[in-house]
Chain A
Amino acid sequence: MMIIETCKKYLRKTYTEFATHVYDIPQRMLALLILIIFLTLPYGGIDLLKTLPWLTTANIMAILAVSWDLLVGRTGQMSLGQALFYGSGAYGTALLFTYLGWPLWASIPLSILFGTGLALIIGVPCLRMKGPYLALLTMAFPLSITGFLYYFRDIFYGETGIPPPRAGRLPSLFPYPGRFSLFDKLIADYFLSFALMFISAIIIYKVATSKTGIVFVSILDDELGAKACGINVTKYKLMSFVISGIFGSLSGSLYASLQKSLANPPFFDLLNSVIPIVATILGGIGTIYGPIVGTYIYYTLDKYIFHYVIPLDKNMRLLIYIVVVVIFIIKWPRGIARAIVEKLEDLQEPREIEEIKKENVRPGE
């Protein structure tokens, strides 16, 4: 009887927790994501076969950028090595699929666990460092791991990367029999990646605005002050590192399975550490919703505007969109997404302070 009572109590508690905290999706986030759907639909109208792949990529990269924002924008732990999580997620999925033949729905969670373990192992020595030293150390890890991949060539296949066992792509998460066309697969991939991006962003936003998230910001603002408040700073830094690792490796394993259908050394490229940074600074550092907007801007410029609308040479493209990004950053130094949200909030009717106070009074006081 005791056990049943305990179970009931636990269930009730979980449900209350869910109803009050998890289910209550932050409005800003919801509005933004709906906006993105509406904005991306027109692209689809132009040429879906060409646009859907990079929209899927943008969704996946947005997860990586949001995870970087939690670590750097909210906790203040400068990391230049987000590619480590990205690559380890990709390799984890590919290894499990190639050698054990595991289906994707099982190998993606396991490779996330693998990435989390890696974050824990690397986080302990890393977080003894601060500022630029931490940044350089985190940058060194993805670069050095490539050498490891080349050395154990018979396991990791060196430069070519781990190929799928049969010729062709890694299978999609959805059953993919013959009557589905490539077009259907692209749409399925897009919505799958979008849903996962949505869920990850909401979870990270929830973490960032929870009490734990408040402690993260206190570490960003003043580490000594946080220590004086009795906060175990190392524990919270490690927590942030691990959460960042979870979503970083999720994004890597998604990219490997949905887009590349293999895992190769370029996953550990410096570019994969830099894109989240550019995206976050474009969108607004520390906002969590900013990096999503930033990633979309980056990919729209790189893969759409300077690819189809104004076709440019690859090197020229790089130069021009760097100029565009710099202009954006000068115009909106605190991030374009943050600027938009602040503009929208200014549009609301000004309210009396008394009114706000009345709303905040809790019942039973």
Chain B
Amino acid sequence: MIMPLLEVENLTKHFGGLIAVNNVCLQVEEGEIVGIIGPNGAGKTTLFNLITGYLKPDSGRIIFKGEDITGLPPNKIANKGLVRTFQIVRPFRHLPTIANILVALQSNRGRKRIEWIKTPERKAMEMLEDVGLSEMMMEPAENLSHGDLKRLEIARAMALEPELILLDEPFGGLNPIETEYMVKSIQRMHLDGHTMVIVEHKLRALMKLVERVIVIHYGEIIAEGTPEEIGKNKKVIEVYLGKGEGGLDARS
């Protein structure tokens, strides 16, 4: 039996009386690219926070590479190769762009990876070139535009050479050209063999990328399937557009 790379079992999280994530089970196979969609407040980011250790689940288990990682601190999870990006960019504003990546290379996992290269600076430059930021190398991160920061965020996550990367709204706040560029770099990363889970609101861009979509509503998985199946799923349309006969008319 092939073990899935990431396995989430019956994950539940309450915030007071509110159930943010309710009994979620999902699996991610190696080499896959999975999209998670859902209306605002559906619990997508909470799910990410639970998986990467920023929140502790009330019940349920998270298994990564056959190892139980439930309740581990975020840095340990990142060092195991399960890396995330943030919906709201979190650059190190005082540091030059290249140093942002050097921070990731200074972690245990990063140091192990660059042992044989000896020059982390060169590795960091390569990471920046991959996302097209080599021009801004010495610029403090606070001078970068929002689109650049989004790309920097991804380069920083990729510097850890993750086995599974969780992207939280990689297209959030980007204009169409930047979105196109981002879609291309994610596709390239996927071709390189990276496994990815993407949370996104821009469905059009997302549907082009992913092989499998999981729909979350009020903390529960309501549908799962290929992008085509999800597009036709009545329940999903209902969640996004509302119930009743006037639903489709309201859109036009």
Contacts and interface: CB of A to CB of B under 8 A. Distances in A.
Interface in A218-238: 218, 220-222, 224-233
A215 B159 CA distance: 15
Interface string A317-352: 000000000000000000000000000000000000
Given A228-B52, A230-B75, A222 B90 contact: yes
B73 to A, nearest CB: 7
Contacts of B86: 224-225, 228
Interface in B186-226: none
Contacts of A225: 86, 90-92
A221 B75 contact: no
A229 B103 contact: yes
Nearest to A214: B99
B95 A214 contact: yes
B102 interface: yes
Contacts of A220: 94
Contacts of A286: 94
B131 to A, nearest CB: 16
Nearest to A226: B103
Contacts, number: 84
B160 A230 contact: yes
Contacts of A211: 102, 106, 120
Contact of A222 (B73, B91, B106): B91
B127 interface: no
B99 A229 contact: no
Nearest to B159: A229
Contacts of A218: 92, 95, 100, 103
A217 interface: yes
Contacts of A231: 75, 103, 106-107
A215 B102 CA distance: 8
A230 B112 CA distance: 12
A362 B117 CA distance: 14
Nearest to A212: B106
Interface string A189-229: 00000000000000000000001101101101110111111
A230 B92 contact: no
B236 interface: no
Nearest to A220: B94
Interface string A43-80: 00000000000000000000000000000000000000
Contacts of B52: 228
Given A228-B52, A229-B103, A217 B92 contact: yes
Interface stretch (B37-45, B62-70, B77-85, B227-235): B77-85
The 5 A-B pairs at the shortest CB distance, nearest first, are namely: A230-B107, A225-B90, A230-B78, A221-B92, A229-B104
7 contacts: A217-B95, A220-B94, A228-B52, A229-B78, A229-B103, A229-B159, A230-B109
Given A211-B120, A217-B99, A227-B78, 12 more contacts: A217-B92, A218-B92, A220-B94, A221-B92, A228-B85, A228-B86, A229-B75, A229-B110, A230-B79, A230-B108, A231-B75, A232-B108
